[in-house]
Amino acid sequence: MECHGSSARVVRLALVLAALVGPRAFAQTPGPGPSRAVVRVPRNDGLTPDNLARLAGSSATARDLLARLEGVPDATFLVRAHPRLVADERLLGRGRFWVVRGHLYGVLEYQAEPAGSHRALRVLAHELAHALELGMLPREPDTRALESRLRVKELDDRFDPAPGIETDFARAISYRVHRELRARDRTPSDLLAQAARAGIALPPEALELSHATR
């Protein structure tokens, strides 16, 4: 299954929920490891830790989003910058998700751009919003069952060429974060309001933001 959000012009976002998960796919997903952090970053990714810090430091909504993600139960999200996502896939962002024995695994990728790129930060916020939305759906035993729950939230966007599913929540969050990054909106976090509109029950806010590397 794919869940996506459109971006400017031809380049787009895609979020993929794998329809079939076997032992090989499970072996390639990020394992729980010694850290209990939900959001993790590969050790060889020098961009993403700074981008996550910029999001948390410049946007109240993004800071709230990251804190809430750490409260998602039974979930592990690996976030990484991809140097050739646009060149190879014509995508600005992509997420792949699996459910294995009730645990939700996700790999969130976004196009690597120069440090501080507002576009990269907005795409990253969009993918993180998708992760939160999926993570707080009633947990199903497999990926196919989770897909059916997400389908009811799909937007009817006939003009978006990207395959898959897009939701109001991810678009609203990325737009709000974009405004906050541009210093156009200094009001408190809008995450609670957007989650209420989308019917998402948010997890408790984590006390600390700590994105483990692996």
Q: pTM score, two decimals?
A: 0.80
- Give the pLDDT confidence of 136-184 residue by residue, as tens digits: 988 877 787 777 666 655 545 444 445 456 788 999 999 999 999 988 6
Contact 184, 175 (CB under 8 A): no
Q: Give the domain ranges of the chain.
A: 2-194
- The β-bridge relationship of strands 212-213 and 91-100 is unpaired
pLDDT of 36 reads 78
pLDDT-based confidence at 185, cuts 50/70/90?
A: low
pLDDT in tens, 11-53: 445 556 554 333 343 344 444 444 579 999 999 999 999 999 9
Q: Give one DSSP letter per residue of 87-154, joined into a string.
A: HHHSEEEEEEEEEETTEEEEEEEEE--STT-HHHHHHHHHHHHHHHHHHTSPPPSSHHHHHHHHHTTB
208 vs 206: CA distance, rounded Å: 6
Dist. CA 191–CA 67, nearest whole Å = 11
| 212: three-class secondary structure by DSSP | strand
- The token pair at 92 is 């600005």
How far is 150 from 152, CA to CA, in rounded Å?
5
Beta-carbon contacts of 179 under 8 Å, excluding residues fewer than 6 positions away, are 185
